[in-house]
Copies of this chain bind each other. A is one copy, B any other.
Amino acid sequence: MVTLAEVAQHAGVSASTVSYVLSGKRSISATTRQRVEQSIRELGYHPNAGARALASSRSNIIALVIPLRTDMYVPVMMEIAIAVATTARLHGYDVLLLTGEEGPDAVRRVTGSGLADAMILMDVELDDERLPLLREADQPSVLIGLPADTTGMTCVDLDFTATGALCVEHLAMLGHRDIAVIGEAPAVYERHTGFAERTLDGLRSRARALGVRVLHRPCEGGYDALTVTLARVFDERPGTTGFVVQNESAVEPLLALLRQQGRAVPEDVSVVAVCPDQVAVQASVRLTSVAIPAQEMGRRAVEHLLTKLEGRGNEDIVLLAPELVVRASTGPAPVAP
């Protein structure tokens, strides 16, 4: 293993000079710099992470806490994680992957040990028990998701309230008056993950404003669960012509069942989905949808974290504006028979 001292000797300068070449914190003459850089290349030198962390008390590592559950939005989580890792690398940081399993202990461990300089938490619950710890930690953090109390926190999320409103608007504009919402599994609501409720809020309040009726049903993924849910929907609201789906694993079953019941999409029934674009375009009917901008969320989270690490920037809520893309699953409401 090559050390700073060896590089210094090889280049005929002192260790501190090499350090300053590396960090750029003091001016170094062009000739010296080149000589040092040459030595670094020749010897294949890589600074030792531990020593660096110890001396500078910065690890250049960002901790990313991902949810342990893999019951929903897996591709979204993955995409966020990859975006976080990629963006972090771009700025010279590495990413430490923690699962939600450890709970608050993970926060204590990271802040206490100096393992990471900052943390990003995904899948924050409305009343997350890690929040108090983060508030009093001296390490910056960014949440992906929106807890109930955001004081002192920086959060990045899709504006789910606006998303809900957008979906209703689109359907209302097409003349739909009775809308059903197929939501996430009941467990997701019970867990108070926030985004599901917020979508619903946005949806309902805009529906009220537009004079549209909304029926909401949480739903497990898969065909069996959806068969039951759909039957209940049409039972209670036979005139339903618009659907909003916020549950990846309910998308395809919904389309299949509608088809099976002789309800054509979009002639008889319109469907708007809240899902990754890939799901929307690969579905059996290309879905009008609001995408979840996973990459952007990951990128923004890291960038915000970095400005906080630099002392600039601070408490802040970033809500990404939803975009509805019209595809083949929505059309004018059928004229009443």
Q: Which residues in A have some Cβ–Cβ distance to B below 8 Å?
A: 1-2, 44-54, 57, 59, 61, 64, 66, 68, 70, 74-75, 77-79, 81-82, 85-86, 89, 94-99, 101-102, 108-109, 112-115, 221-223, 249, 252-253, 256, 281-284
Q: How far is the CB of A102 from chain B (nearest CB, A)?
A: 7
Q: In the complex, A57 Cα to B253 Cα: how many Å? A: 54
A139 to B330, CA, bound (A): 55
CB contact between A98 and one of B1, B74, B94 (< 8 Å): that residue: B94
Contact B66 A70 (CB under 8 A): no
A95 smallest CB distance to B (angstroms)? 5
Residue in contact with A99 in the complex, picked from B2, B85, B253, CB distance below 8 Å: B85
CB distance from A81 to the nearest CB of B (A): 7
- Provide the residues of chain B in CB contact with A282, threshold 8 Å: 221-223, 249
Determine whether the beta carbon of A101 is less than 8 Å from that of B86. yes
- Beyond the given pairs A54-B54, A70-B75, A82-B99, 5 more chain A to chain B contacts, judged by CB atoms under 8 angstroms and listed by A's residue number, are A46-B108, A49-B53, A50-B57, A68-B82, A95-B96
How many copies of this chain does one complex carry?
A: 2
**Residue in chain B with minimal CB distance to A260:** B259
A319 to B310, CA, bound (A): 47
A94 B94 Cβ-Cβ under 8 A: no
Establish whether residues B49 and A114, one from each chain, have CB atoms under 8 Å apart when the complex forms. yes
Contact B89 A101 (CB under 8 A): yes
**Complexed CA–CA distance, A99 and B80 (Å):** 12
Task: Please determine whether A115 and B94 come into contact, CB atoms closer than 8 angstroms.
Answer: yes
Bound-state CA distance A46–B114 (Å) is 9
Question: When chains A and B are docked, how far (Å) is the Cα of A96 from the Cα of B60?
Answer: 12
B78 near A114 (CB under 8 angstroms)?
A: no
* Alpha-carbon distance between A283 and B52 when the two chains are bound, in angstroms: 51
Separation of A126 and B27 alpha carbons in the complex (Å)? 47
| A49 in complex: contacting residue of B115, B221, B253, CB < 8 Å | B115
Q: Which residues of B have CB within 8 Å of A82? A: 66, 68, 70, 99
Is B70 a contact partner of A59 (Cβ separation < 8 A)? Answer: no
Known A-B contacts A52-B50, A74-B74; A99 and B114 likewise in contact (beta carbons under 8 Å): no
Chain B residues within an 8 Å CB radius of A66: 82
Q: How far is the CB of A279 from chain B (nearest CB, A)?
A: 9
Are A253's CB and B47's CB within 8 A? no
Q: How far is the CA of A1 from the CA of B54 in the complex (A)?
A: 13
What residues of B have a CB within 8 angstroms of the CB of A45 in the complex?
Answer: 112
Of A2, A54, A79, the most chain B CB neighbours within 10 A belong to A54
CA distance A108 to B54 in the complex (A): 22
Query: When chains A and B are docked, how far (Å) is the Cα of A47 from the Cα of B94?
Result: 21
